[in-house]
Amino acid sequence: MAESSAIQVRPVTAGDVDVFLRLVDAHADFEQMARPDEEARARLVTDALARPPRYRAYLATIEGRDVGYAITYEAYSSFLARPTLFLEDIFVFSEYRGHGFGGVMFQYLVKEAVRLECGRMEWMVQEWNDGAIRFYERRGAIELDEWRTYRIDQDQLGRLARGEYEPGQSRGD
């Protein structure tokens, strides 16, 4: 196990673009998803480095080696009247898993949520990812079974914006 005091978490900077994108690619491979194409990679960099950034990206580093990353952004709860820190990604290169990097990154993000006066922190985990589920449950996270995640992809957004989708119509119609 790595000495947790030797692990540093820091925001991604312009000098970190290559390693950040390598980590994103490795994460896509792990999730068995397509890697971002060149246009998406350019947007990832632009959006992370914008002022203000569209999202916050962080790297976990030990002894000069960048071994993991996390992406967060803020949502807002009308009922709590506070922001929610949403954890989009947390990933560690496979050879560094089980050495405390994820825990240090997660703890860093928890402190960020407190600093930002968030009312809560949320994320999603794929149901096959038993390691991640155990990781979060060991930290007291609970699975929400009363909420379902829905998604509208970019193509469907365009159809809706153009009025090409009738209310009540199912996707298969």
Active site residue 136: yes
The conformation of residue 129, written as its DSSP 8-state character, comes to -
* Cα distance between residue 87 and residue 147, in whole Å: 17
Q: Around Cβ 45, how many Cβ atoms within 10 Å?
A: 18
Say which of 96, 136, 150, 165 is annotated catalytic: 136
* Cα distance between residue 168 and residue 27, in whole Å: 36
CA angle 18, 123, 29 (to 5 degrees): 40
Q: Where in the sequence numbering do the catalytic residues fall?
A: 136
